[in-house]
Amino acid sequence: MPTAAVLGASGYTGQETLDRVLAHPELELVALGSDSLAGRGAAALDVRLNGNLPPFVPNAEALAAGAEVVFACLGHEEAAALEPPAGAVVVDLSGAHRLDDPALYAAWYGFEHPRPETLGDWSYALPELAPPVGPLIANPGCYATAALLALGPVADLLDPDGVVIDAKSGVSGAGRSLQGSSHAGFVLENVSPYRVGSHQHAPEIAQVLGFPVCFVPHLLPVRRGLLVTCYARADADAVRGRLDEAYTGSDVVRILPDDVAPELARVQSTDAAEIAVFSDRATGTAVVVCALDNLGKGAAGQAVQNANLALGLGETAGLRLNGVLV
């Protein structure tokens, strides 16, 4: 049974990744990393973690624990400085290894990449479009995952001029660290755009599509869930046909019937994604909508999916895909 370590397990993505590792039939947890909780038992994160789990250790110690797969749920700069253990599969859930051009990190992430010569060693892996190649895996961003699931298979059918992606996410997308924009007084009864024209997922989306897009994210007054509505000049029927073909047989991505729209409620707390295609009657604009959970398919679920592929395990092992939510 392959062994696993989770770095940054005390954050939202780390906790969600840990939850999937614990439910995984073929992974054995051997190290829990958290600099803030080092030396404490697993129950310090959640009192429900009262089994025979390893105690928290510093992230550097968890990285060196000899695990066969390491999930790095760290901040961008901290992850960028990681030196992967030899022979291990490493899945980086941060943005530290998503962009091919190291010069883009200063502009979009606010820091100079400390190991630019290693970026080519990392595989940007969105399993349905580009499965991982090699042991070092850059897990896509949550917004980028939804946008690329919607537009990646049909990029050549779109007029690249004027593609617009209107995106909305729950507050957990901002992470666990306290900040003014995630206070209840700001979030509740409110919807607000943020990082307009400067969000770090924009170059990631452009890198895969092959052309820039207008990307505007918004904060929703919900805990979790993400929805993108993509507008492009294209034949909606051709777009639907291509997406149907791309995701035929997928256990993760569902193309919805013509009269059904994606909903956050159906994807929250799951690792699935829903896509629907519409045509605007007045303008002929193709509208592609994708909904997923920002912590599930947008982060932890996709990380486990990528690790499964890299390790040769069943692709959906440990994922949350079944059941009816009420």
Mean pLDDT value across residues 236-256: 97
Phi, psi dihedral angles at 14 (to 5 degrees): -65, -45
Going by pLDDT thresholds of 50, 70 and 90, the confidence category of residue 264 is very high
CATH topology assigned to domain 3-140+297-311: Rossmann fold (3.40.50)
Going by pLDDT thresholds of 50, 70 and 90, the confidence category of residue 256 is very high
Phi, psi dihedral angles at 298 (to 5 degrees): -80, -5
What is the gyration radius of the CA atoms in the chain, in angstroms?
19
pLDDT tens for each residue of 225-242: 999 999 999 999 999 999
Phi, psi dihedral angles at 205 (to 5 degrees): -65, -45
pLDDT tens for each residue of 17-71: 999 999 999 999 999 999 999 999 999 999 999 888 999 999 999 999 999 999 9
Cβ atoms of 121 and 173 within 8 Å: the answer is no
Catalytic residue among 73, 142, 230, 290: 142
Cα distances (Å, whole numbers) of residue 133 to 87, 145, 207, 209, 309: 14, 18, 17, 19, 9
pLDDT tens for each residue of 163-197: 999 999 999 765 555 555 565 666 678 889 998 99
Select from 3.40.50.720, 3.30.360.10, 1.20.1260.10, 1.20.1440.60 the CATH code of 143-294.
3.30.360.10
CA–CA distance, 154 with 148 (Å, rounded to integer): 9
Domain regions of the chain by residue span? 3-140+297-311, 143-294
**pLDDT computed for residue 167 by the predictor:** 97
Closest Cα to residue 80, out of 61, 67, 93? Answer: 93
β partners of residue 231: 164, 287
Residue 230 annotated as catalytic: no
pTM of model > 0.85: yes
Is the pLDDT reported for residue 253 higher than 60?
yes
Tokens of 79: 């992850």
pLDDT tens for each residue of 137-168: 999 999 999 999 999 999 999 999 999 999 99
Which alpha helices (H) appear in the chain, and where do they start and end? 12-23, 59-63, 76-80, 104-108, 142-151, 184-187, 201-209, 236-247, 264-267, 301-311
